[in-house]
Amino acid sequence: MQMLYGMAAPLARALAGRGERVRIYMPFGDLIPGMSYLVRRLLENTSNEAFLRLGLARGASAEAILDPPGLRLADTSASPAVAESLSRFTNEPHADFALAGVRQGFASALAAVREQFGREYPLVIGGAAIQTSERLLSRNPSRPDEVVGRAASASAEDVDRAVAAAQEAFPGWRDRGAAERARVLERAAQLMRERRAELAAWIVHEAGKPWREADADVAEAIDFIEYYRREATELLRPRRLGELRGEVNHYLREPCGVVAVIAPWNFPLAILTGMTSAALATGNTVVLKPAEQTPVIAAKLMGLLAEAGLPPGVLNYVPGAGEIAGDRLVHHPGVRLIAFTGSRDVGTQIYAAAAHLVKGARHLKRVLAEMGGKNAVIVDDDADLDEAVQGIIASAFGYAGQKCSACSRVIAVSRIYDRLAPRLVAATRTVPMGPADDPSTIVGPVIEPEAADRIRGYIEVGRRSADPLMIRDVPAALAPLGGYYVAPAIFGRVLPESPLAQEEIFGPVLSLIPARDFDEALAIATDVDYALTGGIFSRSPSHLRAATERFRVGDLYLNRAITGARVGRQPFGGLQLSGVGYQTGGPDYLVQFVETRVVTEQTLRRGFASSELGSSLENS
């Protein structure tokens, strides 16, 4: 037994009197860290959940004390099914690359995947593999001379065939029921777990994601499948409405039909899987068009879902050019819903096109669009700068800033600016750059040469209009690789109306903006077209409350990084021009993939009761 000097002395004496070995210890050194340690120990030992209180005061069993803390809901009586669902779902843990065995296993996966470079990936329509004369070349952004794969490129006619196959498969998939669909998706999630390192290795090579980012991408894909298959089972259960004698009302949620999934390259498996699994879990069929830059990982998902038991035609894989395959998919009269993640320009074009009633259509399309962000972190004048710098670096430069949620503006309140800027610059100089397959890399390549040119254009704007605090050079050792590398840049005293502070850059460029006080910081943070993510580092409870009320973004983070949302914990999606629709990975997302009907029966004087009808609905 180990006891802290000055605490629990009677307990120490009692244990020693029973012949137990007791060690007395005490901290020494600087006063402030020592006091922090003592306060933590006091909190641990006086907590309502401390083992002494549970065991002695409440008489809890040893088994109960050793159980991991569970999720406690204030009131689950009104919704037991929701509580049960929450208790079952847990996020997939990220790989621990601090372990030598994990590192070695992933290095082996990277090498094994490299041996498969250059293969052909056909369209998959109605379960049939279809080759095309046109090809999409998938290149490794770290080493563009390496061709990761060659994917077939769908024509407008191919898209028509894919939609027809999805329409034909829809009744059978719809009628299989939520429970059976959930079992297919459960098998898919398990296959992902078994091939996790391989899938992450494909993402490293094809999307240029560093190790940890690629692994997290796969973990999030698994989370989406597991979360949505549970949510769909509950969502699609018929509900009884009203209690009027002689009348029975059933509220039904049913799948819409064919869903077009148009996915991005920056989360080439996670977002792709999220939109696809949401549609499949709710009984819809899917025509999937992945990003032109990442068709190979999408082909892997297609094969995995087929292996899990997805019937032919339920999911159709049609990579291709946006202006051909994407355009036809958006305008096709047989598509009921479009799930899109990508740029604001493309998203608004899709939204406008979907509103146009084309010949042969009997419905207006729904559009779910996750678009861009111009995300800000406010650093209050009392903020913990150690935490703030660490959170900003992770949010701004992870995956070279190629996330919708990435931090591209830092708004420093009052005198904190002069303390924050040099520390942020010094920390950013140490962030490792390199190819994505190097385990030390944080800032890897950007996705393509056009992206690199666009980002460099914004850096030139910063040179002319702001204070260039730091513009790193790409390490000379990377030049022979020929990759699409852009080094981090930080600009100070950026004007709030500058393009640097208003336009989405999607690269490792950070703007520092001074604010006179906290109110002005909030005003600057929200004075943009986007409202996706945001953050604040502050020790002031009143400022944290004010941010909660007035910093209106889809995902607001207090005293932590603003990237890294987890399914079921931080549903993700924005306001304003950041998107249309409910947040992904949250309790409302699947509602968008269904349509509702009400069946009302008058049961008086008809010679039979409605119990048979009710039973058949509830078993459907």
Q: How many CA atoms within 13 Å lie on the side-chain side of 33?
A: 5
The pLDDT of 385-403, averaged and rounded, is: 98
507 and 414 in a single domain? The answer is yes
362 and 386 in a single domain? The answer is no
Query: pTM of the full predicted structure?
Result: 0.85
More confident residue, 6 or 114: 114
End residue of a domain, out of 371, 401, 417 = 371
> How sure is the predictor about 116, in pLDDT bands with cuts at 50, 70 and 90?
very high
pLDDT at 487 over 60: yes
End residue of a domain, out of 371, 397, 418 = 371
Residue 4 CB-density burial (10 A; 0-12 exposed, 13-18 middle, 19+ buried): middle
User: In the chain, pLDDT over 70 holds for what percent of residues?
Assistant: 91
pLDDT at 471 over 90: yes
pLDDT tens column, 288-302: 999 999 999 999 999
366 and 403 in a single domain? The answer is no
51 and 198 in a single domain? The answer is no
Helix/strand/coil for 466? coil
Give a yes or no: residue 92 inside a domain.
no
pLDDT tens column, 353-393: 998 888 888 899 999 999 999 999 999 999 999 999 999 99
Give a yes or no: residue 383 inside a domain.
yes
534 and 400 in a single domain? The answer is yes
The 3-state secondary structure of 14-54 reads HHHHCCCCCEEECCCCCHHHHHHHHHHHHHHHHCCCCHHHH
> How sure is the predictor about 84, in pLDDT bands with cuts at 50, 70 and 90?
very low
Helix, strand, coil content of the chain in percent (nearest 5): 45, 20, 35
496 and 560 in a single domain? The answer is yes
More confident residue, 355 or 558: 558
pLDDT at 251 over 80: yes
Catalytic residue among 198, 256, 404, 407: 404
Kind of pairing, strands 509-515 and 407-413? parallel
Give a yes or no: residue 197 inside a domain.
yes
Distance of CA 439 to the CA centre of its chain: 22
Number of C-beta neighbours around residue 225 at 10 A: 28
Give a yes or no: residue 235 inside a domain.
yes
pLDDT at 142 over 60: yes
Phi then psi for residue 365, to 5 deg, are: -75, 145
Q: Tokens for 48?
A: 């309502």
Give a yes or no: residue 99 inside a domain.
no
Do 567 and 409 touch, CB atoms closer than 8 A? no
333 and 482 in a single domain? The answer is no
At 13 the pLDDT is 87
pLDDT at 516 over 60: yes
> How sure is the predictor about 609, in pLDDT bands with cuts at 50, 70 and 90?
low
> How sure is the predictor about 308, in pLDDT bands with cuts at 50, 70 and 90?
very high
User: How many residues in the chain?
Assistant: 620
The 3-state secondary structure of 334-387 reads CEEEEEEECCHHHHHHHHHHHCCCCCCCCCCCEEEEECCCCEEEEECCCCCHHH
Give a yes or no: residue 442 inside a domain.
yes
Which CATH number goes with the domain that contains 400?
Answer: 3.40.309.10
265 and 166 in a single domain? The answer is yes
Catalytic residue among 220, 292, 370, 504: 370
Which CATH number goes with the domain that contains 319?
Answer: 3.40.605.10
pLDDT at 42 over 90: no
The b-or-e profile of 449-485 (16+ CB within 10 A means b, else e) is: eebbeebeebbebbeeebeebbebeeeeebeebebbb
284 and 224 in a single domain? The answer is yes
Give a yes or no: residue 74 inside a domain.
no
228 and 147 in a single domain? The answer is yes
More confident residue, 414 or 446: 446
At 82 the pLDDT is 40
Q: What is the mean pLDDT of the chain?
A: 92
pLDDT at 7 over 80: no
At 86 the pLDDT is 37
pLDDT at 189 over 50: yes
293 and 419 in a single domain? The answer is no
Distance of CA 347 to the CA centre of its chain: 18
More confident residue, 79 or 487: 487
End residue of a domain, out of 572, 587, 615 = 572
Give a yes or no: residue 86 inside a domain.
no
| 612 among known catalytic residues | no
Number of C-beta neighbours around residue 41 at 10 A: 13
Beta-bridged to residue 510, according to DSSP, are: 490
Instruction: Give the list of residues 6+ apart from residue 430 with CB closer than 8 angstroms, or none.
Output: none
At 61 the pLDDT is 75
The pLDDT of 209-237, averaged and rounded, is: 97
357 and 401 in a single domain? The answer is no
Range of the domain at 405: 375-572
| 504 among known catalytic residues | no
pLDDT at 212 over 50: yes
At 85 the pLDDT is 39
What's the domain count of the chain?
3
